[in-house]
Amino acid sequence: MELFIKETIDLFTTVLTVLFTAALPLIELRGPIPVGISLGLSPLHAVIISFVGSMIPVPFILLTIKPIFNYLKRTKLLNKYIHKLTERSLKKHGPKVQKYGVLGLILLVAIPIPGTGVWSGSLVAALLNMRFRWAFFAIFMGNLIAAIFIVTLTNSIIGVFL
C-alpha cells in the first residue's frame, strides 16, 4: 500500500510538472513533452498533458489582454514596455496573420521556434481583434501540429541514443 501511494504521488507530481510547465510562455510544448517522456510518461500522455497545459492560458489571453494592456498603458512604469511589445508583435506577425487569417495564425502557432506559439498567437489574435472562436480554433490546431512535430522529433532523438 505504501508503495502504491508513493508511485501515485510521483505520477501526480510528474503530471503537474508537465502541465504547468507547458502553460509557461516561451516554453509551451517544446520543453514539457521531452521532459514528460524522460520522467517516465508515455509519449501519448506527455503530449496530451503538455497540450492541455499549453492551452490553459489561451482563453485568458484572448479575452483579457487588451483591457489589461490598456490599463497598463496608463501607468508611467509600463507604458513604453507595453507599446514596444504590441508594436513588435504586430510588426513581426501581424501582416502574415492579417493576410492569411486563420491559416496564418495556425502556422504562427505550429512552427516551434522562439517567438512563436500559443502565447504569441493569442497576443496577435487579440491585438488584431480576431473573433474568439476562430482564434481559439487556429491556436488549437497550430498547437496540435506543434505537439505532433515535437513528439516525433523527441522520439527520433531518443531512439538514436537508446
DSSP per-residue codes, 138-162:
HHHHHHHHHHHHHHHHHHHHHHHH-
Average pLDDT over residues 12-34: 93
Quote the crossing angle between the two packed helices 43-55 and 132-161, to the nearest 10°: 150
What's the pLDDT tens digit per position in 144-160?
A: 999 999 999 988 876 66
Mean pLDDT (the chain, rounded): 92
pLDDT band (50, 70, 90) for residue 17: very high
> What's the sign of the alpha-carbon dihedral 75, 114, 22, 60?
positive
What's the pLDDT tens digit per position in 111-132?
A: 988 889 999 999 999 999 999 9
pLDDT number for residue 162: 53
pLDDT number for residue 161: 59
Average pLDDT over residues 62-77: 93
pTM here is: 0.91
pLDDT number for residue 9: 93
pLDDT number for residue 115: 83
- pLDDT at residue 143 above 80? yes
Identify each DSSP E strand in 8-161 by its residue range: none
Average pLDDT over residues 6-35: 92
